[in-house]
Amino acid sequence: MIARIQDRMSQQDVAAMVITPGADLRYVADYDAKALERLTALVIPASGNSTLIAPLLEAGEARESGFGRAGGPVVTWTETENPFALVASLVEEAGSGSVAIDDHMWAQRVLHLRELLPNRTQVLAGALLGEIRQIKDQREIDCLQEAASAIEVVHAQVPSIIRPGMTEAEAGSLIAEAIVEAGHVAVDFVIVASGPNGANPHHAVSDRVIEAGDPIVVDIGGTMPSGYRSDCTRTYVVGEASEEYLAAYRVLMQAQESAVDFVKPGRTCEAIDDHARSIMKDHRFGDEELSAFFIHRIGHGIGLESHEEPYLVAGNTTHLQPGMAFSIEPGFYVPGRFGARIEDIVVCTPDGVRNLNSSTRELGKIPA
């Protein structure tokens, strides 16, 4: 892994890369370090050995990381030492060139390194790591499949969890408990968007009381012990939905399933987004095309982060490659009335696509 990163660094005149706690550190060093005020950083030179810098009180955890167990050097610092000076000295030893900074590094740390390395151009490490991280190997795909299967266990329980008369917040709390019971170590988000709240794609929950006839968008996700994430949306209705809603939902389901089938190597990210919209354009909702109510991109990459590269959106001409994992999630959102979304996680394969979600995309039924 680090050798691949170093090859890219040498090609782009990057002398060293500095990665702090977050998804990149977990990916590169297999270290799920806590993001605390005490600095932990992996310094990767363009050639030679990388070094993990950690506070002395976290030396045990650092040495038990994948990087440490593989024999990678761990340098600790005490409360009276300046860890940024340790990082700066390692960067200087790496030779001439820019320094690549972890995309999610705290601004305070970025600026501190800039003060200590005033002659070094800072660039984003994501430009180097993104191309590597977005191509999942078989182990990562297996982890994503485990996550997708776990969240589907939760969706299977939703019709028995949600009842008219409870609030979205009450339903969300029960769903969050089910996410952990299904094997996740953390709940990343719970959206229970009923009735008019469904018109807000990122509504979360509220004290609104769920009523008979409400469509409900349930978008849920969590983190598995592996660090890989789940993310799946299904839409439900309490009792019976209007024919107007059902007609629009049938088109949405067609667009989502067709967009999944359209995935294959060589197609661009934006082509998948456009494919779903072209289907929704053919259906009218009131005076508008249904696609006018599809107000977000069709998908995002997923892995150690819920949202990562690639992003499937107009203007992204990146070509799909085998191993890319991402969501396919068209929706429609009618202000003041209701919304709907269907989301699966898929993997681009050499022959086309593998859908990690197998549960029905039909409108779920909740007893009135």
Under 8 Å between Cβ of 162 and 238: yes
Question: Cβ of 115: how many Cβ atoms within 10 Å?
Answer: 9
* Residue-wise pLDDT tens digits, 220-252: 999 999 999 999 999 999 999 999 999 999 999
Q: What is the mean pLDDT of residues 298-321?
A: 98
Which tokens sit at 304?
């150690």
Computed from CA positions of residues 141, 146, 147, 149, in that sequence, does the dihedral angle turn out positive or negative?
positive
Q: Distance between CA 238 and CA 259 in Å, rounded?
A: 28
CATH superfamily of 2-133: Creatinase/prolidase N-terminal domain (3.40.350.10)
* Residue-wise pLDDT tens digits, 23-62: 999 999 999 998 999 999 999 999 999 999 999 999 999 9
DSSP H or E stretch at residue 127: helix 126-133
Question: Can you say whether residue 238 is alpha, beta or left, with left for phi > 0 and alpha for psi between -120 and 50 degrees?
Answer: beta
Q: Are strands 232-238 and 215-223 parallel, antiparallel or unpaired?
A: antiparallel
Question: Cβ of 309: how many Cβ atoms within 10 Å?
Answer: 20
What are the Cα distances from residue 360, in Å, to 19, 234, 342? 41, 9, 10
Per the document, the length of the chain is: 368
Percent over 70 (pLDDT), the chain: 100
Reference 101, options 131, 123, 84; nearest CA is 123
Under 8 Å between Cβ of 129 and 24: yes
Q: What is the mean pLDDT of residues 201-217?
A: 98
Reference 344, options 267, 217, 259; nearest CA is 259
Tell me, what's the pLDDT at 329?
98
Domain positions in the chain are 2-133, 138-366
Query: What residues pair up with 58 in beta bridges, in sequence order?
Result: none
DSSP, collapsed to helix, strand or coil, labels residue 261 as helix
Contact partners, residue 268, CB within 8 Å, separation at least 6: 316, 317, 318, 319, 320
Percent over 90 (pLDDT), the chain: 99
Q: Give the confidence band of 209 by pLDDT, cuts at 50, 70, 90.
A: very high
Computed from CA positions of residues 158, 160, 163, 168, in that sequence, does the dihedral angle turn out positive or negative?
negative
What does DSSP assign to residue 196? G
Q: Give the confidence band of 1 by pLDDT, cuts at 50, 70, 90.
A: confident
DSSP, collapsed to helix, strand or coil, labels residue 305 as coil
Q: What is the mean pLDDT of residues 158-180?
A: 98
* Residue-wise pLDDT tens digits, 247-276: 999 999 999 999 999 999 999 999 999 999
* Residue-wise pLDDT tens digits, 98-126: 999 999 999 999 999 999 999 999 999 99
Q: Give the confidence band of 320 by pLDDT, cuts at 50, 70, 90.
A: very high
Contact partners, residue 235, CB within 8 Å, separation at least 6: 198, 215, 216, 217, 218, 249, 340, 341, 342, 363, 364
Contact partners, residue 275, CB within 8 Å, separation at least 6: 258, 259, 262
pTM (predicted TM-score): 0.96
- Architecture (CATH level 2) of domain 138-366: Alpha-Beta Complex (3.90)
Residue 324 has pLDDT above 90, yes or no: yes
